[in-house]
Amino acid sequence: MGALKGAVSMVEGPQRRGAGEPPLNEDRKERLLYLADMLSELQDIAAREGCVTLAGLLALSHVEANQQAAGKTDIKART
């Protein structure tokens, strides 16, 4: 659990940006891209182990991390 605690502290900061907030911080963008990469790796591992639900949740998290890194906060489900 210690490793997870350290990873969580890497991405501290506001959860959502409002319309009046400043442009995306480059350090935050880099952290989010790093997180997206880790999520992708975890998704691959989960899929190989046959954990379908876990792989799906990680895929959703990967999409959100990439969208947040791109400065998009209005995330809509794909249909």
Q: What pLDDT score was predicted for residue 41? A: 98
3-state secondary structure of 13: coil
Interatomic CA distance for residues 20 and 43, integer angstroms: 34
Of the chain, the percentage scoring pLDDT greater than 90 comes to: 56
Kindly tell me if the per-residue pLDDT of 3 is higher than 60.
no
Domain boundaries, the chain: 24-72
Q: CA nearest 65: which of 25, 41, 29, 24? A: 29
Q: Directed axis angle between helix 2-10 and helix 26-48, to 10°?
A: 140
**pTM to 2 decimal places:** 0.63
Interatomic CA distance for residues 29 and 7, integer angstroms: 15
Over its C-alpha atoms, the chain yields an Rg (Å, rounded) of 14
- pLDDT digits over 29-50, tens only? 999 999 999 999 999 999 999 9
- pLDDT digits over 7-36, tens only? 444 444 445 555 555 566 889 999 999 999
Q: Is the dihedral of CA 70, 75, 77, 79 positive or negative?
A: negative
